[in-house]
Amino acid sequence: MLTSAARNAAIEDMRRRCKEQGMAFTFQRQVIYEAVLDSRQHPTPENIYEQVRGRIPSISLGTVYKNVKTFLDTGLLKEVSLHHGSLRLEANMTPHHHVVCSGCKAIFDLEETEVAPLELGKTPLPKGFAVSRCSVEIIGLCASCRGIGASKKKTQNNNSSGASK
């Protein structure tokens, strides 16, 4: 939960960033941003749309998408998973961890034993939550994405299933 002060600070910060980047501070943008801020569950664009419609009935889903994208580029919002958009599969059924490149979305495996085991002893889980497994994601940039310039390059995973066969 966000304190009222922290919430206001976040909104103020957003207004400032809009100014800085020469983007208009519209009511729609404020309400969309607040919707994510206030959301306990990490919302989908559709969720945001539904919530925002409560305050701006005329808003369109397209506007939500456009602004969400703008916010992601600006660093005002973050996406929870780097792997939405398309299903990624694996045949390795033994528990293991992943190293993922935020540039090209490549995923490298790590044996479970290669990462020090997690200590969940003092971790406050939601009431009634039954843990089945823990997975660690080490996020960063792979060698080649660093090479081509560590920018937001969309080198996009050319993953032709690698050196398979």
Partner DNA sequence: CTAACTGCAAAGTGTTTGCACTCTT
Partner DNA sequence: AAGAGTGCAAACACTTTGCAGTTAG
Helix axes 27-38, 4-20, angle to 10 degrees: 140
- Least gap, CB of 105 to a second copy (angstroms): 9
Closest CA to 30 of 57, 5, 8: 8
3-state secondary structure of 109: strand
Q: Cα–Cα distances in Å, from 29 out to 13, 16, 39, 55, 154? A: 13, 13, 15, 12, 26
Check residue 99 for interaction with DNA (CB under 7 A).
Answer: no
Token pair for 144: 């080649």
- Least gap, CB of 40 to a second copy (angstroms): 3
Check residue 51 for interaction with DNA (CB under 7 A).
Answer: no
* Pick 19 or 79: Cβ nearer a second copy: 79
- Contact region for DNA (CB under 7 A) — 40-48, 91-99, 115-123, 132-140? 40-48
Pick the binder of DNA from 34, 35, 67, 71 (CB under 7 A): 67
Q: Which residues contact 102 (CB under 8 A, 6 or more apart)?
A: 82, 139, 140, 141, 145
Separation of alpha carbons 19 and 29, rounded Å: 13
Binding pattern to DNA, positions 8-37, x when CB under 7 A? ----------xx--xxxxxxxx--------
* Pick 26 or 54: Cβ nearer a second copy: 54
* Pick 18 or 36: Cβ nearer a second copy: 36
- Least gap, CB of 118 to DNA (angstroms): 29
Chain residues 106-135 in contact with DNA, contact rule CB under 7 A: none
Separation of alpha carbons 2 and 22, rounded Å: 28
Residues that bind DNA (CB under 7 A): 18-19, 22-29, 44-46, 56, 58-63, 65-67, 69-70, 84-87
